[in-house]
């Protein structure tokens, strides 16, 4: 029985040594290895020539020079100019209030300071009452330029709307 195990072990060892040699790839050879035969690969065949026929370009749509897309709508506060009425009214009111303070030279100084302060305050109040809001709509035209159309009231357009500019005003496209 011992001989039988010994012969099986010797056969397994011989197979283990022969297996890597049998599995070796002979397609590639190194320059220093002249003993191993290299298999020669056939030259790659070129692909058959393909011709591409160009299709006629589709009829282009007419370009609309007054058409575009709304990029943004901004509200801009406009500072109003004073007409002078606020300065006069504020100066008179401030002078009257200043005249109520003190006696003699103090009264005169208070009247002057009250009139100056009232004039300044009246001017600022008039500007705040008359200020307004303007709406600027930026439109990216089809040719790539950007045009701005201004409105005194909220225009009702939003970013992405397709529009057309006719006589300086926007219309939906």
Give the contacts of 27 (CB within 8 A, at least 6 positions apart).
38, 39, 41
Q: How many domains does the chain have?
A: 2
Does residue 45 form part of some domain? no
Same domain? For 74 and 88 the reply is: no
Same domain, 72 and 141: yes
In this structure, are 88 and 107 located in the same domain?
yes
Residue range 114-136, pLDDT digits in tens: 888 888 888 878 777 777 888 99
Considering the domain boundaries, does residue 85 fall inside one? yes
List of E strands, 79-145:
132-141
Range of the domain at 120: 81-130
> Over the stretch 8-62, which tens digit does the pLDDT of each residue have?
555 555 555 555 555 555 555 555 555 555 556 666 666 666 665 655 555 555 6
One domain for residues 136 and 74: yes
Exposed, middle or buried, 122 (CB in 10 Å: 0-12/13-18/19+)? buried
- 90 and 106 share one domain: yes
User: Taking the C-alpha atoms of 146, 149, 154 and 160 in order, what is their torsion angle to the nearest 10 degrees?
Assistant: -30
Residue 108 pLDDT greater than 80, yes or no = yes
Inside any domain, residue 9: no
Taking the chain, what is the end-to-end CA distance rounded to the nearest angstrom?
100
The answer to pTM > 0.75 is no
- Per the rule left: phi > 0, alpha: psi between -120 and 50, beta: everything else, 126 is alpha
């Amino acid at each position: 029985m011992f001989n039988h195990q010994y012969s099986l072990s010797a056969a397994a060892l011989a197979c283990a040594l022969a297996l890597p040699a049998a599995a070796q790839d002979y397609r590639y050879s190194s320059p220093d290895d002249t003993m191993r035969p290299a298999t020669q690969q056939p030259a790659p065949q070129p692909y058959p020539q393909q011709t591409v026929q160009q299709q006629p370009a589709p009829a282009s749509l007419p370009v609309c020079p007054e058409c575009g897309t709304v990029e943004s709508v901004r509200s801009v506060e406009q500072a109003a100019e004073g007409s002078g009425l606020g300065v006069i009214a504020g100066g008179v009111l401030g002078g009257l209030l200043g005249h109520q303070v003190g006696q003699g030279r103090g009264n005169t100084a208070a009247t002057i300071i009250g009139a100056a302060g009232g004039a300044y305050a009246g001017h600022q109040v008039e500007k705040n009452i008359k200020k307004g809001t303007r709406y600027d709509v930026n439109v990216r035209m089809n040719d790539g330029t950007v045009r701005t159309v201004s409105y005194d009231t909220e225009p009702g357009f939003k970013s992405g709307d397709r529009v057309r500019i006719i006589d300086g005003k926007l219309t939906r496209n």
